[in-house]
Amino acid sequence: MTETFTEKNPQELGIDIAQAASDIEDTLKDMYLTFRLGDEDYAIEIRYVTEIVGMQKITEVPDMPEYVRGVVNLRGQVIPVIDMRLRFSMIERSYDERTCIIVINIKGRQVGLVVDTVNEVRTIEENNVSPPPKTGGGQYLDYIKGLGKVGNEVKILLETNRLLFENEE
């Protein structure tokens, strides 16, 4: 017996694309990938994360900001790589077996973030997020979305769009 399949639009199949997208968004709401830089824990919204990979050979690109280490070839796709320690003017350190690249997709662009180590995926509910401190007025406060309280710990939640595309906002 031979079956034939015809293309149907999602509405014919009873699939509401907007609702499906909303359901996925709700599932990812309040979910963060946490990682460590130095002695502090940071977090980015999981909805931006596409994968986590071990360190790759980074090809330097001339005339880039110091924190842009270069590019990597990840399965045939060239992705710029940002060292998050250097992005925050922290002391540079040698990469080791725990150092990894978090590949994120923001505004249709993939970027790799080099971090000391990835911790875990955590739920940090909105009611456990405090606004960033207003004191000091340092340039890096613009990159902080909030401070997430997890038990007795605080995770620094990053505003990924501003962190990567500060001049495009």
CB atoms within 10 A of CB 75: 7
Reported confidence tier of residue 3, pLDDT bands at 50, 70, 90: very low
Specify the pLDDT at position 43: 96
70 token code pair: 């270069």
Average pLDDT over residues 102-106: 93
CATH number of 17-165: 2.40.50.180
87 token code pair: 């992005």
Specify the pLDDT at position 10: 47
Average pLDDT over residues 67-82: 94
List Cβ neighbours of 27 (8 Å cut-off, separation of 6 or more). Answer: none
Q: List the domain boundaries for the chain.
A: 17-165
Specify the pLDDT at position 5: 45
pLDDT digit string (tens) for 31-52? 999 999 999 999 999 999 999 9
Give the pairing type, strands 100-106 and 109-115.
antiparallel
Confidence check: pLDDT of 13 > 80: no
Confidence check: pLDDT of 134 > 80: no
Unique residue bearing structure tokens 């034939």: 4
Reported confidence tier of residue 6, pLDDT bands at 50, 70, 90: very low
Confidence check: pLDDT of 78 > 70: yes
Q: CA-to-CA distance for 63 and 157, rounded, in angstroms?
A: 30
